[in-house]
Structure 1
């Protein structure tokens, strides 16, 4: 289960890295008037998830349970920040495109508007799978 959770975590990170690159590439980290995602939330989510992934890799290869528990505990604030971002992304995603010649507004210009729904959903589903597989691994259930 440890390797399965590691694979799920890496796939989750791949989707997150894709969205982070689109958001940064669209200027989300520079222009706070266009984005609905606070940079501190975005980068906090990324940093905590990356730290957790590194610790999980250490756990998987060393079988050091305290490190594994810390890695899983880091997923609590990661998940909370992820929920905050989804709740702020939904209105941007649902906003109707401006008619030709209309004034541009923040939801239509937001860099996060370009996130593919499949990537957002896949990232969330894989995140849940990562937590479940991680708990099964550290509790030594099924593997």
Structure 2
């Protein structure tokens, strides 16, 4: 049986991988250009940076066994999730507007080049990561 803390690490790594893929798509389609995206770059990179920072804290928790580090990683993930929720909401609103009137003259937004499957997968994996980290911080499955 895999300990919950190790499962959290594996799921977190996969989540970061899917998120990095989406950032690459966003950047490759002009995400940093003001007219090409409704995503504030600071929000995108804060979301990514906090996710990676939390992952590093989680690895330190695994290496040292310090429970405080587990709780810091969990708090970090809550912030990451809040930022991610803001991003996915903007992605959803713009996507629905584009689908409602496909002939309308709209800018080609970088984030609309990110299809639904990676967004959904990232959200499911992120939710699983948050739950697994919480369970591990609580000492479940050790």
Indicate the SS of the match to 2:132: helix
Q: Which residue is equivalent to 2:75?
A: 73
Report the TM-score when normalising by structure 2: 0.90
Q: Which residue is equivalent to 1:6?
A: 9
The unaligned stretches of length 5 or more in structure 1 are none
Mapped to 2, the partners of 1:60 and 1:126 lie a distance apart of: 20
Mapped to 1, the partners of 2:70 and 2:140 lie a distance apart of: 15
Q: 1:16 aligns with which of 11, 14, 19?
A: 19
The unaligned stretches of length 5 or more in structure 2 are none
**What is the number of equivalent residue pairs in this alignment?**
137
Mapped to 2, the partners of 1:72 and 1:98 lie a distance apart of: 41
Report the TM-score when normalising by structure 1: 0.89
Mapped to 2, the partners of 1:93 and 1:63 lie a distance apart of: 43
**C-alpha RMSD of the superposition:** 1.4
C-alpha displacement of 1:98: 4.5
Q: Which residue is equivalent to 1:46?
A: 48
- After TM superposition, list the pairs within 5 Å mapping 1:23-34 onto structure 2: 23-29=26-32, 31-34=33-36
